[in-house]
Amino acid sequence: MAGRPWRLSARLLIACSVLTVIGFSAICANVMLDMRRGEEELARQSLDNLASSIDADISRNIELYDLSLRAVASSIVLPEIKDVSKTIRHLILFDHAATAKHFGAIQVFDAFPLLRADRPVLYCLALEYAPHGDLRAFLHKTARKWPEPAARREIAGILQVLQRLHRGQMLHRDLTPMNVFVCGDRTLKLGDFGIVRHQSDRRGIRARTMNRLTAPLEILDGAVPKWQARDDVYQVGQLLGMLIKGDARVRIRTHDVRALHDALAVQRGLEGG
């Protein structure tokens, strides 16, 4: 017995078409709403970051002005001030701004182009003087381990600079002992921001330019394609380990962390006893 061909009625075809159109419209509307919510969240995060950065900058500027005014008030009464040149007088009266707490970034005093005949222009920066050079050279020269309290104090200053960068969605990517300088009183200052990049969201940026000495192993192996804020913090951990170990020529490995932990535990026990 031959079966009769199955036919759809015109009403059923119209109903299916209408339902299909409604379904696609609902999907498109849902996608657009998700995109809108994502853009609103990104805008809110950007405003929060901007507000945090402005608040931190205002607090820092107030602290610097307060230090400068205190220095002027205490030094202007000295009779020797009148006998020195204008430049030296300015340094004596206003250089106390450099004593602000946790000033973990090296200071830039001036920026100018150096014009030379028939030669390329050199763009120069007048930076804070670091008499001991970079951290790698300093540790190689002294060959001494840093006490844990001193290492933690100086790393805390660098972390504050890093926190300000991350609040503005900036990634440093180059926290190495060659970019950390040892200033007066063995104060550590971060002094190179050459490959800092801005990220549009918290998912990071493509990991391409980096220094292999302190970069995370997952990124070096290609297992993680993007550089994130946590990778900057990993580099700071490398710096801390190098300070406590007293050697910045090679990266800190897992067995180094265990050995440093055991050594610090023994040291704390001796100090406590």
For residue 160, count CB atoms less than 10 angstroms from its CB and return exposed for 0-12, middle for 13-18, buried for 19 or more: middle
Distance CA 208, CA 62 (A): 39
User: In the structure, what pLDDT confidence band is assigned to residue 207 with cuts at 50, 70 and 90?
Assistant: confident
CATH of 130-272, one of 3.40.50.1170, 1.10.600.10, 1.10.510.10, 3.40.980.10: 1.10.510.10
Of 195 and 50, more confident: 195
Angle at 88 between CA 87 and CA 93, to 5 degrees: 100
Residues of each domain in the chain carrying CATH 1.10.510.10: 130-272
Alpha helix locations (H) across the chain? 10-75, 86-94, 135-142, 148-167, 217-220, 229-245, 254-272
- The pTM for the full model equals 0.62
**CB hemisphere CA count around 124 (13 angstroms):** 11
Which tens digits make up the pLDDT trace of 93-148? 655 555 555 468 888 888 889 888 888 999 888 888 899 999 999 999 998 999 88
Structure-token pair, residue 121: 């222009």
Which tens digits make up the pLDDT trace of 4-39? 555 557 777 788 888 888 888 888 888 888 888 877
